[in-house]
Every structure is written in C-alpha cells, then in structure tokens.
Amino acid sequence: MSDCIFCKIVAGEIPSYTLYEDDNSRSFLDIFGATDGHAMVILKRHGATIHDYTPAELGQLWGSVQKVAAAIEKAYATTILSIGINHGEPQGVKHLHIHIMPRYEGDGGGIMQTLPGKKLENNDFSGVAEKIRSHIGK
Ligand SMILES: [Zn+2]
C-alpha cells in the first residue's frame, strides 16, 4: 500500500531498527515507544486488522512475536511483557502491528498507553536493536 509507513519500511524506503525478519514478517523498534525496548512486529503483506489476514498468516505473525518476545525478555532480564494490538484504531498506522514492551515487577503499568516503563535515554536505538538482536533465537 503506497501511503503506508510500515509498507515503506518493508520495502526499504524508510529506515528502521530491525530486530528480526523472515519471509513473512518483520520486527523493528518503535522509535516513539513507551519504553526502552518497545518493539513492533508486522506481517510484510499490508492489512489493516486481523480480518485482513488468514489464520495461517496470523500464526506466522505470532510465531515471530514469540521469537522477539523471548529475545526482549533476555535482553532486559525480565519475564514481564505487555503484548498488544490496537485493533481498528482510527489514529496511527493502519497496518496491523503487535506491540511488545518490556515490563518490570512493581512498575505499576498494565495499560499500553500509560505504561510508566523505562524511557529510552540518549536515543541509542542502534544499541537497543543490537542488544535485542543478539538474543534472537538463543
Ligand atoms: Zn502497510
């Protein structure tokens, strides 16, 4: 879809901090993220909501979420994550994406938009991406 920012990321027209990629899916950092390590996972084929994909495609998407989630848990030494979709939300990017955010015991969070989290300092997205990538598949 020509005016979709995520399709442009998939096409390489817009740079991103890639965490994981396979034939069907891609994960990258949310540069406007709620927390340090806030990642997103998408299917490469454009679709706005879960209804635009087959169950098999959604299975591929969740398989990638599982890989990235495991890497984030290791990179941030936590077993707590918030994983979620803003389904059909009129604001924001209209390409289905799953957020993965590291959480911490006692952080008081629970609702994605109000996560207190740990804000990324110094905007070191390259360092964050490398830290997470180093744990993919391990
Ligand atoms: Zn798209």
Three-state DSSP state, 82? strand
Q: Average the pLDDT over each of 9-18, 41-50, 99-108, 127-136 and give the range with the smallest value.
A: 99-108
- Dist CA 44 CA 30 (whole Å): 16
Torsion sign (Cα): 5, 7, 12, 15: positive
Residue 54, pLDDT score: 98
Cβ atoms of residues 21 and 27 within 8 Å: yes
Q: Cα(107) to centroid of ligand 1, in Å? A: 33
- Dist CA 61 CA 42 (whole Å): 7
- Predicted confidence band of residue 117 (pLDDT cuts 50, 70, 90): low
Q: What is the mean pLDDT of residues 112-138?
A: 77
Report pLDDT digits (tens) over 25-81: 999 999 888 788 999 999 999 999 999 999 999 999 999 999 999 999 999 999 999
Q: Cα(118) to centroid of ligand 1, in Å? A: 29
What domains can be seen in the chain, in order of their start residue? 5-133 (3.30.428.10)
Catalytic residue among 38, 95, 97, 99: 97
B/e letters for 72-102, b = 16+ CB within 10 Å, e = fewer, are bbbbbeeeebbbeebeeeeeebbbbbbbbbb
Report helix angle 125-133 to 55-75, nearest 10: 100
